[in-house]
Copies of this chain bind each other. A is one copy, B any other.
């Protein structure tokens, strides 16, 4: 792995554990093994540039992960519920470390670091595009597909926070069941629902 990649990976790991503001550049160089000089050589933009790279990198990785969890299921609802259960298993086994650095960082930097908000928004939009395409293939209209994947991501990010804080699988399980019900309703009868 290249030095700049090692730095970005170390930053992503720290971001998902403790967020952006609490993560020191000294921690990043210690975790990555790279000296400070190398970090500022590869990332002249400093801490914010490293965080940007970390968000984009893990954003792409998680997009593929979620897609690979959903893809095997012919039934959208079953796929969604299984993905949330898989997330709950993973969090429990890793000692309740948040899976997603993007959500953690997005929550705290919106008003302080405008560039990072933009990057997080791009990552979220990428996930929505990818997920909507997947759901359209399963027969949903474009509007329904976008609404469903947006609800999936929202519920997933929120349930991450609750499950980690409560140290319990319950929020992820409940959120998964909830959005699975939404998927069933969208597939069953697109006309009856409200909105």
Contact = CB atoms under 8 A, between A and B. Distances in A.
Interface of A: 17-22, 77-78, 81, 96-98, 103-104, 106-112, 117, 120-121, 124-125, 146-148, 150-151, 153-162, 164-167, 170-175, 177-182, 184-186, 193-195
Contacts of A108: 18-19, 21-22, 104, 107-108
19 contacts: A97-B111, A103-B107, A104-B107, A106-B162, A106-B164, A107-B164, A108-B108, A110-B165, A124-B165, A147-B173, A151-B155, A153-B158, A154-B162, A155-B158, A155-B175, A155-B179, A173-B195, A179-B182, A185-B185
Contacts of A17: 110-112
A117 B165 contact: yes
Quickly give the copy total for this chain. 2
A193 B159 CA distance: 20
7 nearest CB pairs, A to B? A158-B158, A19-B108, A21-B21, A151-B178, A21-B22, A178-B182, A157-B158
Secondary structure of the A contact surface, majority rule: helix
A109 B173 CA distance: 23
A147 B185 contact: no
A107 to B, nearest CB: 5
Contacts of A175: 150-151, 154-155
A193 B185 CA distance: 12
Interface-central residue, A81, A117, A182, A184, by most chain B CB under 10 Å:
A182
A193 B186 CA distance: 15
A181 B184 CA distance: 9
